[in-house]
Amino acid sequence: MHSLDPALLPAQSGGLSRQQAKTLVLSALGGALEFYDFVVFVFFATTMGTLFFPAAMPEWMRLVQTFGIFAAGYLARPLGGVLMAHFGDLSGRKRMFLLSILLMALPTLLMGLLPTYAQIGIAAPLLLLLLRILQGAAIGGEAPGAWVFVSEHVSPRHRNLACGALSLGLLAGILLGALVARALNAWLSDAELLAWGWRLPFLLGGVFGLLAMVLRRQLHETPVFAELQARRTLSAELPLKAVVRDHPGAVVLAMLLTWLLTAAVVVTILMMPTFLQGMGVPRDAALAGNALAVLAAMAANLVAGALADRFGAGRVLALWSLLLGVAFWWFYREAQAGAYSQWHYAIAGSAVGLTAMVPAIALGGFPARVRFSGLSFSYNLAYAIAGGLTPVLLSAAMKGNPAAPMHYIAAMAVLGIALGAFVEWRDRRAPAA
């Protein structure tokens, strides 16, 4: 792990200062509003498939193509993430923090104004695809930039908690999307939702984006970047070049950790409402369980982050990965057998608390001058591959194997336990300074 000159680190203390706590809260709130814009699409996957593809298309094919457009946002993440990280390492973390919101809010607003397939034919899904790609470019800089931002505002001994607090905010954006979807399904008839109601969550997202910009304008540049700038020790070459050349091991570890994160978030949180409906669970019950699962994941991020700072990130990552495998297997088998339980879904959701340790471990492998680029490149490349392909491949695999998500999560749990054991072994041999 890379240690910094103590002068480049926030002051060590027994707890978070008032300013550090404010930074975490404002960053989490801004992340929640921006992540709402990115994920609200998936909660209306069935509706969007009906509106933006031919009515004669088989239902399973519409679902695969709709998730394909959703996945396009992930495939666009590396380009946006690398560009924003490049300037984040050279010009400042805060500037990119603000830019990512603007690039997210505008496409989301335009999605709410799009004509449907019945109105303009094939141009409708193509325009939707274009806007989804723009959203992906924006979110590519958001999550890595936010994790770097909050981690550089606290001492290393609070890094897991800081990343957990930020991940809590990102999950809150998913929860907000679930609540909006549930409210619209409760208030509007199916005909009203198809006619105009589906536009409301996207238009609302544009307003959320502007609010997030206002919140983040109150934040200050990170002490680490400010010190690097003052000392003129910023990267003297293309940051990404230095990352690939000098830190390949850190890149591989960060990509494997991201693969684990995608499994926890994309399958357990984002895709399960649609899978549950395919098992015969009413939409309202599926979304209610999803809301409980996200709430459990939010609380678990703080708990796991605090425990990781106290006992070691590797140990806690292994423990939470085991929880992911066992809890999801139990919940999914019950749902398949017709015994769906919202509370068992919540227990499975609590395993998503492992997202507190993933960024904290990954960013620790890169020195400050290329930290944003290192984390963003690794995270977004892995998310583009794993996060982008997972919805499409799982949707297709379930046609022949309805238990495919359960088997996939079990395999990812094994990966998480192995990664946790490796991190624990590495930290024992070379403890962080």
The three-state DSSP-derived secondary structure of 361-415 is HHHCCCCHHHHHHHHHHHHHHHHHHHHHHHHHHHHHHCCCCCCHHHHHHHHHHHH
What would the mean pLDDT of 30-52 be, rounded to a whole number?
77
In contact, 269 and 294? CB cutoff 8 Å: yes
Helix, strand, coil: what percent of the chain each, to 5?
85, 0, 15
Instruction: Say if residue 380's pLDDT is above 50.
Output: yes
End-to-end distance of the chain based on CA atoms, in angstroms? Answer: 9
State the pLDDT at residue 328.
96
Q: Which residue has the tokens 């009203």?
A: 192
Of 254, 406, 224, whose CA–CA distance to 329 is shortest? 406
Phi, psi (deg, nearest 5) at residue 367: -70, 160
**DSSP state at residue 12:** P
Cα angle value 170/173/176 (rounded, 5°)? 155
In order, the DSSP letters of 10-60 are PPP-SS--HHHHHHHHHHHHHHHHHHHHHHHHHHTHHHHHHHHS-TTS-HH
Written as six digits, the tokens of 121 are 């034919």
Of 273, 269, 253, 283, whose CA–CA distance to 409 is shortest? 269
Cα separation, 377 vs 255, in Å, equals 9
pLDDT tens track for 184-207: 888 888 888 888 888 998 898 888
Instruction: Say if residue 123's pLDDT is above 80.
Output: yes
Instruction: Say if residue 33's pLDDT is above 90.
Output: no
Instruction: Say if residue 245's pLDDT is above 50.
Output: yes
List of residues 6+ apart from 250 with CB closer than 8 A: 243, 362, 365, 366, 374, 378
Mean pLDDT highest for which of 79-88, 117-126, 159-168, 328-337?
328-337
The CATH number given to 17-429 is 1.20.1250.20
Instruction: Sketch the domain layout of the chain as residue ranges.
Output: 17-429
Q: How confident is the model at residue 5 (pLDDT cuts 50, 70, 90)?
A: very low
Q: How confident is the model at residue 87 (pLDDT cuts 50, 70, 90)?
A: low
Q: How confident is the model at residue 254 (pLDDT cuts 50, 70, 90)?
A: very high
Give the residue, 348 or 175, on which the prediction is more confident: 348
Per-residue buried b or exposed e for 151-160, using 16+ beta carbons within 10 Å of the residue's own CB: bbbbbbebbb
Cα separation, 51 vs 66, in Å, equals 10
List of residues 6+ apart from 247 with CB closer than 8 A: 365, 366, 370, 374
Mean pLDDT of the chain: 82
Amino acid at position 280, single letter: G
In contact, 48 and 128? CB cutoff 8 Å: yes
